[in-house]
Structure formats: structure tokens, C-alpha cells
Amino acid sequence: MVVYRCQDSLESIFTAIFRAYEEKRNHEETMLCLTDDPIFFAEDIAVSPDAEKTHRVMNTLKRRFGTDNYLSLCMALASEDQEKAQAVYRTVVSGLRRGCRQGQLFDNLADRDVHKAFALARSVSTEVGHQKQFLRFQELDNGLLYSRIGPKYDVLVFIMPHFADRLPIENFVIYDEKRSLFGIHPAQKEWYFFRGEDGDKVTVPGLSEDEMTYQELFRQFCHTITIEGRRNVQLQKGMLPLRFREYMVEFQ
């Protein structure tokens, strides 16, 4: 048994997949692991991210399985599941063996690892959709649009392109407080990430006067259209989980 010890990052996991093929490992006796738990009678190999190997795996996955399936694999790796690396690795192995074409990678859901990767990708995709719907920007004194979020998964990389496409002329920042990760979009330029362990200590300027006015108007609007006789708390929780509300203007 060969165990590749990966960091919890797409780059490290894709590097491990590249090495498993480059070193001609027996895929049935190869494991990608994110933890330090000992595995007896196994050869441990530490994996450091390699940009060139990562890009080669990315290009192969896009070419062989299509952009949509590649994106699903990336979403599976954005989950918090400790077995995600092995599930994605085994899904790739299965797809290459079966000669899958675009849109066929997740057809074999009877396979435990393919099913797990599919389920993880679907869960992360749902979180991405929720964040796109429930994310709220606030205009600061300096004109910057700022949003604070706390997603279940590491989904900021999937959210930034959505808002960069819709707000190309705006300076905006989305802050993932659970991972101390900032998505920064300068107006008319490419967006990028900034990670800081002391992100929670960053001083955010106060809200602009217009922003405070419109927030109050929005809250009053939400309150006014409420029909007490049709209040359904359980349905509301299903449509809008409570964990999102601390980040939404209308519930503050």
C-alpha cells in the first residue's frame, strides 16, 4: 500500500494524482490521505503542491471529461470531508479506465467513490447557489462594496467570478470569516485572493450615509410586506436557513 499524504488543497491533491500516474502506481493499492493517521505496512509519501503538475492534471481533466465534470471535481475538493481526496482520485481513475467522455464521469454511481465525489460536489454546489442568493454587499464610506460571509465550505473561488461578471466596474471585497480569506476585486481589473490569519482584526470603515438610509428602507419594506396570517416559520427555515441570517441586512 502506498499513501500520498496531501495538504488540504486542490493543488496538493492534483499533484498527488499526477505523481500516482507518473510513478506508475497500482491504483488499487494507492491512497490519497489528508490526515496524519497511521496506516500500518504502508509507504508514506509527503506531497508538496507543484504548479506545473497541477496544471497538467487540470488540463487533462478538462480535455477528457469536459469543463462541467472538471468543475464538479473541484467542488468536491472544496468540501470539508476528510475522504474527499481519495474519492476524487478514484473517480478520476474510474473515468480514465472507462474512457469517459464529456458528461459521463459520474454515470457509474454504483461505484462507492464516484458516488461520494458526486454527493460532495452536489453539496458544495448547493452552498455556492445559496451564497450567490443570500450574499449582501454594503457600501462603505470610501465607496467600497463589502460583504462578510461564513460558508460551510471553501466556496469563495466559485463565488468571485459570479460577482466579478456582474459588478465589473465596482471595487468590492468578499470576506470569508471562517477561513480568513478575502476575495478582492478592483474595478475593471482581475480579482484575486488575500489570506490573513488576523483577518478578523482588519478595520472596516463605517457605512456610507446612503447605505444606512437604504438599509433602513429595505428593512421597512420587508416588514411591511409581511402577512402575519401566512407566517410559516418551518418553511422559512427551509428556504432560508438560520445560519445565513447574521450576514443579511434585512435580519440585522
Cα gap 86→112, rounded to integer Å: 11
The pLDDT of residue 197 is 67
The pLDDT of residue 227 is 84
Cell of 163: 460577482
* H-state helical runs in 105-252: 112-134, 156-166, 209-224, 233-239
Cell of 104: 459521463
Cα gap 73→70, rounded to integer Å: 5
CB 244, CB 150: distance < 8 Å: no
CA torsion 193-195-198-199 (nearest 10°) is 30
Cα gap 68→143, rounded to integer Å: 36
Q: What is the pLDDT along the chain (252 residues), one digit of tens a residue?
A: 999 999 999 999 999 999 999 999 999 999 999 988 888 888 999 999 999 999 999 999 999 999 999 999 999 999 999 999 999 999 999 999 998 888 889 999 999 999 999 999 999 999 999 999 999 999 999 999 999 999 999 999 999 999 999 999 999 999 999 999 999 999 999 999 998 766 556 677 889 999 999 999 988 888 888 888 888 888 888 888 899 999 998 887
Q: How many residues are present in the chain?
A: 252
Around Cβ 231, how many Cβ atoms within 10 Å?
9
Model pTM score = 0.89
